[in-house]
């Protein structure tokens, strides 16, 4: 049966302009970091993408190494795109990235022109696309000249293989330099993707100011701190959770008693706002004008519905923000 998206899909989602560009992104975007690799049933992945799109989520975020195994998220997305979303290509903003280890040998990692150009060609083949909307350099490369990496991004846009370019995991000062180089080349940086949540506030120490000053959008990943900012850990660490598994992204040591105490206090505040903790945590990241969208992961459609439900109460009073800061800064 051919997928036909709900005609009301744009009625409740909010869209924000990405920096000083003409591109608007949904305030919630779907990341394909987990649950789209070969270990996930493709029908589950399909349901997640369909439900997201029906809720007005037009931005799907991938990377060359998403899986596992690396490359499989793009391949599986490509299959679902071909079968369900081909007719909607011009309603979607699809991104991918290169910067982490992708293949053996000296050319499958980091930030050389050779790696970035070859990797995007592979990504486009896997996804069955002629171009991506956004192509990111996934992490800074300390050994390749920044000018080489930025020239590669500029070249990719001029080739028509990406419409826009972005940066991910770049600290503030390096981001400033990279943005300036791209401006000089005539291909402005559209967006930056940092790790940002109530438990990971490093972007507040300069990066958000740089992005605001330069007119660059921001799309934080891990806004729920790997699931810690949800109701998952209110009563300790469940046996089937990511913290209990041997996930390299979250382990039991990170979910300390002190952190659980903060989670419970934050949850009480969220309840007083008529929200789930996860919804308040997403709204909190979006409180900055600089933040265009938040990236969520999902293993079931209800998680996407919850995230979009955050739009019912996206604003904070001064008192609420002060309470959140007090909870996060407390040492017990």
CA proximity to 179, closest of 187, 189, 171, 169: 189
Distance CA 150, CA 132 (A): 17
Q: Span 203-219, mean pLDDT?
A: 98
Given this model, what pLDDT does residue 256 score? 81
- Among the listed residues 224, 319, 320, the one whose alpha carbon sits nearest the alpha carbon of residue 276: 224
- Give the residue carrying structure tokens 């598994």: 245
DSSP for 226-289, please give it: GGTTSGGGTTS--TTSTTTTT-SS--GGGS-HHHHHHHHHHHHHHHHTTS-HHHHHHHHHTTST
Give the whole-angstrom CA distance, residue 264 versus residue 230: 10
Domains of the chain (ranges plus CATH)? 15-230+279-314 (3.20.20.100)
Average pLDDT over residues 76-82: 98
Place of tokens 């913290």: 243
Among the listed residues 229, 238, 297, the one whose alpha carbon sits nearest the alpha carbon of residue 260: 229
The mean predicted confidence, pLDDT, of the chain is: 95
Per-residue pLDDT of 158-196, as tens digits, reads 999 999 999 999 999 999 999 999 999 999 999 999 999
Strands (E), 18-170: 24-26, 28-31, 59-61, 93-98, 132-137, 162-168
Residue 133 has pLDDT above 60, yes or no: yes
SS (H, E, C) 12-43: CCCEEECCCCCCEEECEEEECCCCCCCCCCHH
Region 85-97 average pLDDT: 98
**Chain CA centroid to CA 131, Å:** 19
For residues 246 and 173, what is the distance between their CA atoms, to the nearest angstrom?
A: 34
pLDDT of residue 254: 63
pLDDT tens-place string over residues 291-309 = 999 999 999 999 999 999 9
Which residues, including other chains, have CB under 8 Å from residue 121's CB and lie 6 or more apart?
Answer: 161
Residue 232 to residues 152, 227, 239, 257: CA-CA distances in angstroms?
Answer: 42, 7, 11, 14
- pTM, rounded to two decimals: 0.95
**Best CA proximity match to 120, nearest among 73, 142, 153, 76:** 153
Asked if residue 282 lies in contact with residue 15, where contact means CB atoms within 8 angstroms, the answer is no
Q: How far apart are CA 102 and CA 86, in angstroms?
A: 27
- Measured between alpha carbons, how far is 74 from 80 in angstroms, rounded to an integer? 10
Cα gap 178→145, rounded to integer Å: 11
Q: From CA 283, how far away is CA 293, in angstroms rounded?
A: 10
Residues 14-70 have pLDDT tens digits of 999 999 999 999 999 999 999 999 999 999 999 999 999 999 999 999 999 999 999
CA–CA dist 200, 239 (Å, integer): 25
CA angle (225, 230, 231) in 5-degree steps: 150
């Amino acid at each position: 049966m051919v997928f036909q998206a709900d005609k009301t899909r744009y009625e409740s989602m909010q869209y924000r302009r990405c920096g000083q560009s003409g591109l608007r992104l949904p305030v919630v975007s779907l990341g394909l970091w987990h649950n789209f690799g070969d270990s996930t049933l493709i029908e589950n992945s399909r349901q997640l993408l369909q439900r997201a799109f029906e809720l007005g989520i037009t931005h799907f975020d991938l990377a060359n190494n998403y899986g596992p195994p690396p490359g499989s998220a793009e391949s599986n997305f490509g299959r679902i795109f071909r079968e369900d979303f081909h007719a909607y290509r011009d309603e979607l903003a699809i991104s991918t990235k290169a910067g982490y280890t992708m293949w053996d040998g000296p050319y499958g990692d980091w930030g050389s022109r050779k790696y970035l150009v070859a990797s995007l060609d592979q990504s486009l083949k896997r996804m069955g696309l002629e171009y991506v909307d956004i192509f990111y350099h996934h992490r800074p490369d300390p050994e390749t000249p920044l000018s080489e990496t930025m020239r590669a991004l500029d070249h990719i846009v001029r080739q028509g293989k990406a419409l826009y370019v972005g940066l991910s995991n770049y600290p503030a000062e390096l981001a400033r330099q990279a943005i300036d180089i791209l401006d000089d080349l005539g291909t402005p940086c559209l967006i930056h993707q940092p790790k940002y949540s109530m438990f990971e506030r490093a972007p507040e120490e300069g990066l958000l100011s740089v992005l605001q000053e330069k007119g660059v959008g921001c799309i934080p990943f891990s806004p729920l701190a790997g699931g810690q900012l949800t109701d998952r850990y209110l009563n300790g660490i469940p046996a089937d959770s990511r913290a209990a598994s041997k996930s390299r992204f979250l382990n039991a040591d990170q979910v300390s008693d002190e952190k659980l105490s903060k989670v419970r206090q934050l949850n009480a505040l969220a309840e007083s706002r008529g929200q789930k903790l996860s919804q308040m945590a997403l709204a909190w990241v979006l409180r900055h004008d600089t933040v265009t969208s938040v990236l969520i992961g999902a293993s079931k459609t209800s998680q996407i519905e919850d995230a979009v439900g955050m739009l019912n109460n996206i604003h904070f009073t001064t008192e609420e923000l002060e309470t959140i800061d007090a909870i996060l800064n407390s040492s017990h």
